Chains A and B, each alone.
Chain A
């Protein structure tokens, strides 16, 4: 299972699922991380975490622990 935090810089992926139904999962979905969407890994903060992504036309930053909740498949 590939999750969003395992992407490398510049890699793109398609979202398959967001794990859980708690407040964090809901917040991730509210921000537009829903299944079928395309995400791009833009880079990390200087200390390695959080990670910046490109989704639905904007730049979203997530901690690795949160990105781990998002199941994705890599796009070539």
Chain B
């Protein structure tokens, strides 16, 4: 029975969970809610909104997971979300009844900084001393009862990854209505609070809405902070000068805003911990520290890093292959079933080429996503992820990014979809956005079939260095470099235009190593795969069906359907002849079947020319002509919008080979080599092939990536922007390649 049906149920309570990064917050959140959480985005920002429901003793509590943060001083709209949620100002969440504040017990002093801000909010709160085992390994001893008395709040000891203390915490959350509001720390000097009182009066006089006391403090402390920006927009210059005067008065009395906050709060933290917690005077070298000495060593560290990254890359690039094959054969089995039970016609085509291809087109990415997040979850859970960022930061700052962008970008060489999803590890919005927007430039595995087709067909098999290096390999390598070298100026431009401001600091805590938990890792894999299928899948599916419709309508398919029916009949006959032992009849029928198939491929090619897709291809021919393309290549490029590799099947269809061709199909390379313009000159040459490759290296012909960007940025603006800028780059790149290529050829 669902608890919500019960008449005894009290009103739904809401409890927010907050904590520093690396305190095991998400592990604890999952342990509490048992994976039953809804994820989405807070409106207008990139902050993920995760809400889990707790049922116990006929009570229901919604647990709201807030992003890990070191402080509640909002400088950006993203940081403001957490403060707004906690103060009940976030409309889509509503009033919050209590706060659970998770801290790292081995690092109490630093963690109490955030706690002091949470207590200043005035809401009932529970303090969770997580990572108790790490604290003990570091010889930190804490008098829990003493801490409870000093803080005036409930304190619970936890080891989230071993599920210790989880039950007790769940009870405390469920019964959080019995909690009393805690003692406010009031860490600032009296003058500060006097100025807050004055400011409050001034705001009322200015006709401002009633502000929570915490926001008045923030307004005074955070010079150019988000609260000031918001209110200045409402009240204009008047408020700015009031603030300036108030801050000047505080400075004169020795209370220097904004630096007073850190000093005051850390002084408070030390007073609270004095006599309650004891930290060894000298640094204790734990096993984790000894491991770290090796893993961040100048040579061994780099070697180990390279080995780990190679393993991760291998996994998504190679190991995902068999799993993807399984999905593909599953797709074929379902398609065969439909073929056997649905008569030839538009419905069958919709089901097979639209619906099943659409579902397959979504599921095909799941192995790569699942594998990447399997490794990311392990690396994060054991603590190596922070080291990876630490090791790579120097290199990535050269691109204007931080070390945290390395794993997402590297993963994008296998597939941009898990790569874009992996940017969630980057807390800084600017770094994250720039990484998301350049990730699709990395040459993913879907580009490889296009490169292979073009190089085998048009790049001569010249060998260099005594047969060690072939020209084809060099061309292939250059194609991979194109994306990287274009990404550098693009990232630079993005930081100079849309994402201006100072380089965000790389202030990061290196957590202790621990064994990863299988449960946590698997939960993460499931979570990410599910999120992709549910939230990006529908849009990817819709795109596939749309492109199918564009390639199917409005042509007249009767002749094709008759032929298809004839072919199926003929196949059955042949099987029958073989079964009867009538070899000659079977051979005769096979010859006829081959003719029929050829005819069908011919008709399919004609039909696609008559479809919306074909017409569009003809319409854009003047635009693609400078790239050295004819309308057929144009059609292939448009049809490959759902996924780049589709161009091979489309070219197969247009060149009357049927849609089942592979990139290494000799008949396709032959057809391409033989293709002629109406005036008799060949369509393809090295310049055209390179122009196509450069186009595909730089274009955003991947609906799935664009939909994932939409999901991750919570806006249509960025996928549209990505498509526009990449298509422009691809066009210009292909144009230059072809024109220069032709000059070199003649």
A residues at B contact (CB < 8 Å): 18, 21-32, 34-35, 40, 43, 45-50, 52, 54, 56-63, 66
CB atoms of A60 and B394 under 8 A apart: no
B360 interface contact, C-beta 8 A? no
Instruction: Knowing A56-B109, A58-B110 are in contact, say whether A30-B70 is a contact too (CB < 8 A).
Output: yes
CB atoms of A49 and B262 under 8 A apart: no
Selected contact of A61 from candidates B71, B108, B506, CB within 8 Å: B506
CB atoms of B283 and A54 under 8 A apart: yes
Q: List 15 A-B contacts (CB under 8 A).
A: A18-B259, A21-B259, A27-B507, A28-B507, A29-B259, A29-B262, A30-B113, A49-B393, A50-B390, A50-B393, A50-B506, A56-B110, A58-B106, A61-B509, A63-B505
Bound CA–CA A29/B627 (angstroms): 56
CB atoms of A61 and B259 under 8 A apart: no
B728 interface contact, C-beta 8 A? no
Which residue on A lies nearest to B263, using beta carbons? Answer: A34
Instruction: Knowing A23-B75, A45-B393 are in contact, say whether A58-B283 is a contact too (CB < 8 A).
Output: no
Residues of A contacting B138 in the complex (Cβ-Cβ under 8 angstroms): 57
Which residue on B lies nearest to A22, using beta carbons? Answer: B502
CB atoms of B296 and A60 under 8 A apart: no
Residue among A25, A32, A46, A49 with most chain B CB within 10 A: A46
CB distance from B22 to the nearest CB of A (A): 10
CB atoms of A40 and B109 under 8 A apart: no
Bound CA–CA A60/B22 (angstroms): 12
Residues of B contacting A46 in the complex (Cβ-Cβ under 8 angstroms): 296-299, 301-302, 305, 391
Selected contact of B223 from candidates A21, A32, A48, A62, CB within 8 Å: A21
Main secondary structure of the interface of A (DSSP, over half): mixed
Instruction: Knowing A46-B302, A57-B107 are in contact, say whether A24-B259 is a contact too (CB < 8 A).
Output: no
Bound CA–CA A47/B75 (angstroms): 31
Residues of A contacting B390 in the complex (Cβ-Cβ under 8 angstroms): 45, 50, 52, 61
CB atoms of A47 and B394 under 8 A apart: yes
Bound CA–CA A61/B266 (angstroms): 20
Selected contact of A34 from candidates B266, B395, B397, CB within 8 Å: B266
Q: Which 7 interchain pairs have the tightest Cβ spacing?
A: A29-B262, A47-B394, A58-B107, A46-B301, A59-B510, A46-B302, A30-B71
CB distance from A24 to the nearest CB of B (A): 5
Q: Which B residues from 56 to 76 make CB contacts under 8 A with A?
A: 70-71, 73, 75
Residues of A contacting B71 in the complex (Cβ-Cβ under 8 angstroms): 30
CB distance from B103 to the nearest CB of A (A): 12
Selected contact of B507 from candidates A45, A54, A58, A62, CB within 8 Å: A62
Residue among A27, A34, A59, A62 with most chain B CB within 10 A: A59
Instruction: Knowing A21-B259, A45-B393 are in contact, say whether A61-B110 is a contact too (CB < 8 A).
Output: no
CB distance from A2 to the nearest CB of B (A): 20
How many A-B Cβ pairs are below 8 Å? 115
Q: Which B residues from 381 to 403 make CB contacts under 8 A with A?
A: 390-391, 393-395, 397, 403
Q: How does the 8 Å CB contact mask read for B401-412 relative to A, with 1 for contact and 0 for none?
A: 001000000000
Bound CA–CA A69/B505 (angstroms): 11
CB atoms of B113 and A47 under 8 A apart: no
B258 interface contact, C-beta 8 A? yes
Residues of B contacting A59 in the complex (Cβ-Cβ under 8 angstroms): 509-510
B508 interface contact, C-beta 8 A? yes
Instruction: Knowing A22-B502, A26-B258, A40-B283 are in contact, say whether A61-B395 is a contact too (CB < 8 A).
Output: no
Q: How does the 8 Å CB contact mask read for B175-209 relative to A, with 1 for contact and 0 for none?
A: 00000000000000000000000000000000000
Which residue on B lies nearest to A60, using beta carbons? Answer: B509
Residues of B contacting A27 in the complex (Cβ-Cβ under 8 angstroms): 70, 505, 507
CB distance from B349 to the nearest CB of A (A): 55
CB distance from B18 to the nearest CB of A (A): 15
CB distance from A65 to the nearest CB of B (A): 8
Residues of B contacting A40 in the complex (Cβ-Cβ under 8 angstroms): 283
CB distance from B426 to the nearest CB of A (A): 16
Bound CA–CA A62/B390 (angstroms): 9
Instruction: Knowing A30-B262, A56-B110 are in contact, say whether A63-B283 is a contact too (CB < 8 A).
Output: no
Instruction: Knowing A30-B71, A57-B109, A57-B110 are in contact, say whether A45-B266 is a contact too (CB < 8 A).
Output: no
CB atoms of B394 and A32 under 8 A apart: no
CB atoms of B506 and A62 under 8 A apart: yes
CB atoms of A63 and B509 under 8 A apart: no
B279 interface contact, C-beta 8 A? yes
Instruction: Knowing A23-B75, A26-B73, A32-B110 are in contact, say whether A45-B505 is a contact too (CB < 8 A).
Output: no
Residues of A contacting B106 in the complex (Cβ-Cβ under 8 angstroms): 57-58
CB atoms of B110 and A24 under 8 A apart: no
CB atoms of A21 and B279 under 8 A apart: no
Residues of B contacting A45 in the complex (Cβ-Cβ under 8 angstroms): 296, 301, 390-391, 393-394
Q: Which B residues from 250 to 304 make CB contacts under 8 A with A?
A: 258-259, 261-263, 266, 279, 283, 293, 296-299, 301-302
Instruction: Knowing A30-B71, A32-B109 are in contact, say whether A61-B510 is a contact too (CB < 8 A).
Output: yes
Q: Which B residues from 584 to 608 make CB contacts under 8 A with A?
A: none
Q: A28-B505, A45-B296, A58-B107 are in contact. List 18 more A-B contacts (CB 8 A).
A: A21-B258, A24-B502, A26-B258, A29-B262, A30-B73, A45-B391, A45-B393, A45-B394, A46-B301, A49-B393, A52-B390, A52-B510, A58-B110, A61-B390, A61-B507, A62-B507, A63-B393, A63-B505
